[in-house]
Amino acid sequence: MDKFIVTGGSRLSGTVSISGAKNASLALMPTCLLASGVFTLHNTPNNRDVHTFSLLLEQMGVQWKLEKNVLTLDSTNITSHEAPYEYVKQMRASIYVLGPLVARYGEAMVSLPGGCNFGPRPVDLHLKGLEKLGAEITIESGYIHAKCKRLQGTHFHFDVSSVGATVNILMAAVLAHGQTTLTNAAFEPEVIAIADMLVDMGAQISGIGTPTLEIQGVDALHAANQTTIPDRIEAGTFLIAAAMTKGNVTLENVQPSHLAAEIQKLEEAGCVVTATENSVTISMDDDPQPVDITAAPYPAYPTDTQAQWAAFMMKCKGAATIKDTIYPTRFGYVPELQRLGADIETGDGYAIVRGGSSLTGATVMSSDLRASASLVMAGMIAEGETEILRVYHLDRGYEGMEHKLTSLGANIRREQTEEF
Ligand code: UD1
């Protein structure tokens, strides 16, 4: 088990390259189950979730190789249609194999994901959507069994905007017989990325980038290659980290339009932000003004950087409210930030951060991926050393975060620990 030891007080400055988007990669990878052949995914981040997903595909018969951020997937010999619990419990996105398997092979067995560290995360929409397409779904011994002859085009309306359910149902609908209309579909950049990939594979999809997707099912697809979009969550994390250390940082390999909500909030807090086509530069000279955020589906402020915003607001002159409409209980990081001396109050779906407390290093525990990032960032502004346990959460979604932060001037080292 690894831990980070962060010594506070450094100011971030310099240039850093942002990796490919973890959440886009996890959506692109299962498309290889929709067609036989060799798929090449450029700009794939080398993080733990990508490895876990590769191993899941491997036990289905996919051969894979990840070298220099190029992931090759060979799906010529699929031998299993099952996603066992040992993978799904590590990573909920494993459920993405459900749609492609049932659409192409007429059957799939996928473990139910179970609980999550930041509250309930049901998969009812994934199942309802597949049932609407004609799959017969049963739950047995903790597994989802899905069966069908051939999926049939339909109209499915998502009760709530869900990235995962949209990705899954879209992957199923492309091989269904006839036309499918999906309404209130998610249109996060990661959803657009996978829709573009499916089109490159021969799928017929219109309305990409909008909440209404029209899919004309085809009989077969072919392998394709893709370059993964930049990780807007990693980019948002680094922008906030630069701001909270009163730094001056340029991010390269980013898509600034994907960061519009965060950039606006950073400017309101007092940061100076400039962008080119594929880079963003941020500088901050003073403590931030308090700025409230409400995490909601894209293009609103993302839930995946709300914990980082809370860490930033520990430095503000006043009080800022953080609301999360997607995961109203995603505030598990608050007691850990309080261990450093933060003044934060939580309520139903919100946290109020009162900035200005003096922060001192302590031992804290990561509870989920993005919570871990907020703890690392808090450690960078606390006095003395902060020990962050269970950084395997962080490794799920950030490629070499400590190396990138260290290259910008942070003082972070990774150590092995017996502690769990
Ligand atoms: C994805 C992201 C995750 C991000 C989240 C919200 C991946 C691998 N993960 O997760 O990082 O935090 O989007 O932007 O891309 N819901 C239901 N029923 C369902 C599915 C979802 O009620 O069947 C609800 C969820 O509880 C949540 C909301 O819909 O309140 C949105 O969740 P969703 O977009 O599905 O999140 P994920 O795809 O799991």
Sign of CA dihedral 197, 202, 208, 214: negative
Category of 125 on φ-ψ map: left (φ > 0), alpha (ψ -120 to 50) or beta: alpha
Q: What torsion, rounded to 10 degrees, do the Cα atoms 53, 260, 324, 17 define?
A: 40
Instruction: Give residue 297 CA to ligand 1 midpoint distance, Å.
Output: 9
Shared-domain flag, residues 190 and 299: no
Instruction: Give residue 126 CA to ligand 1 midpoint distance, Å.
Output: 11
Shared-domain flag, residues 407 and 324: yes
Please work out whether the CB of residue 28 comes within 6 Å of at least one atom of ligand 1: no
CATH number at residue 319: 3.65.10.10
Shared-domain flag, residues 221 and 277: no
Shared-domain flag, residues 188 and 257: no
Shared-domain flag, residues 259 and 399: yes
Name the closest-CA residue to atom 32, ligand 1: 162
Shared-domain flag, residues 331 and 362: yes
Which residues are the active-site residues?
Answer: 116
pLDDT of amino acid 318: 96
Distance of CA 231 to the CA centre of its chain: 8
Report DSSP letters for 52-82, one per residue.
HHHHHHHTTT-EEEEETTEEEEE-S-----E
Report DSSP letters for 78-141, one per residue.
----EE-HHHHTT-GGGGGGHHHHHHHHSEEEEE-----TTS----HHHHHHHHHTT-EEEEET
Residue 212 in tokens? 């209404």
Shared-domain flag, residues 134 and 237: no
- Structural domain span for residue 341: 2-19+230-416
Beta bridge mates, 294: 323
Among 172, 200, 227, give the residue marking a domain's end: 227
Strands (E), 198-349: 204-206, 213-216, 225-227, 248-252, 272-275, 279-283, 293-295, 319-324, 343-347
pLDDT of amino acid 350: 97
Shared-domain flag, residues 55 and 197: yes
Locus of tokens 């409400």: 294
Whether residue 223 contacts residue 37, with contact meaning beta carbons closer than 8 Å, is answered with yes
Distance of CA 253 to the CA centre of its chain: 17
Helix/strand/coil for 3: strand
Shared-domain flag, residues 290 and 360: yes
| Alpha-carbon gap, residue 236 to 19, rounded angstroms | 12
Helix/strand/coil for 284: coil
> How would you write the pLDDT of the chain (420 residues) with one tens digit per residue?
899 999 999 999 999 999 999 999 999 999 999 999 999 999 999 999 999 999 999 999 999 999 999 999 999 999 999 999 999 999 999 999 999 999 999 999 999 986 666 666 789 999 999 999 999 999 999 999 999 999 999 999 999 999 999 999 999 999 999 999 999 999 999 999 999 999 999 999 999 999 999 999 999 999 999 999 999 999 999 999 999 999 999 999 999 999 999 999 999 999 999 999 999 999 999 999 999 999 999 999 999 999 999 999 999 989 999 999 999 999 999 999 999 999 999 999 999 999 999 999 999 999 889 999 999 999 999 999 999 999 999 999 999 999 999 999 999 999 998 766
Given the CA of residue 303, which atom of ligand 1 is nearest to it?
Answer: 12
The neighbour count for residue 398, using CB atoms within 10 Å, is 27
Please work out whether the CB of residue 126 comes within 6 Å of at least one atom of ligand 1: yes
| Alpha-carbon gap, residue 307 to 127, rounded angstroms | 30
Please work out whether the CB of residue 304 comes within 6 Å of at least one atom of ligand 1: yes
Q: How many domains does the chain have?
A: 2
* Percent of residues in the chain assigned helix, strand, coil, to nearest 5: 35, 25, 40
Among 176, 209, 227, give the residue marking a domain's end: 227
For residue 100, cis peptide bond before it (omega within 30 degrees of 0): no
Shared-domain flag, residues 135 and 268: no
Shared-domain flag, residues 382 and 358: yes
| Alpha-carbon gap, residue 91 to 395, rounded angstroms | 12
| Alpha-carbon gap, residue 114 to 401, rounded angstroms | 28
Name the closest-CA residue to atom 15, ligand 1: 23
- Smallest Cα–Cα separation from 353: which of 365, 367, 337, 369? 337
Shared-domain flag, residues 75 and 12: no
pLDDT of amino acid 370: 92
* One-letter amino acid for residue 42 of the chain: H
